[in-house]
Amino acid sequence: MTTIEKIKNQLAENPILLYMKGSPKLPNCGFSAQAVQILSACGVPFSYVDILQNPDIRAELPKFAVWPTFPQLWVDGELIGGCDILNELYRTGALQPLVDKAADKHRPQQAETVQ
């Protein structure tokens, strides 16, 4: 599997995905820490990829995304942006409905009770 195929699979399998330096519990840069704080404040589950542990993704994702920096937030396979954009979207209230919609769409459907 190529790195681009791996990235496409990650995006397809994770409705809210943050490519970041480090992990949500131990971010390795201030921008990644801010992105985690913003997503945590939204109260929706999200996945992450530590690009420091995945040098192939760190090298290829900026070309694939046409976005040179990290972190990168992807929602439903679409690039939302980096830390500054997340801050702005959160501040204006535009981020919450975006992530809520993605989270709701991908929550396991509860089985209906048939009587």
| Annotated binding-site positions for glutathione | 21, 58, 70, 83-84
Annotated binding-site residue numbers: 21, 29, 58, 70, 83-84
List all residues 6 or more positions away from 16 whose beta carbon is below 8 Å from its beta carbon: 39, 44, 45, 46, 47, 73, 74, 75, 99, 102, 103
Annotated binding-site residue numbers for [2Fe-2S] cluster: 29
CA 109/CA 89 separation, integer angstroms: 28
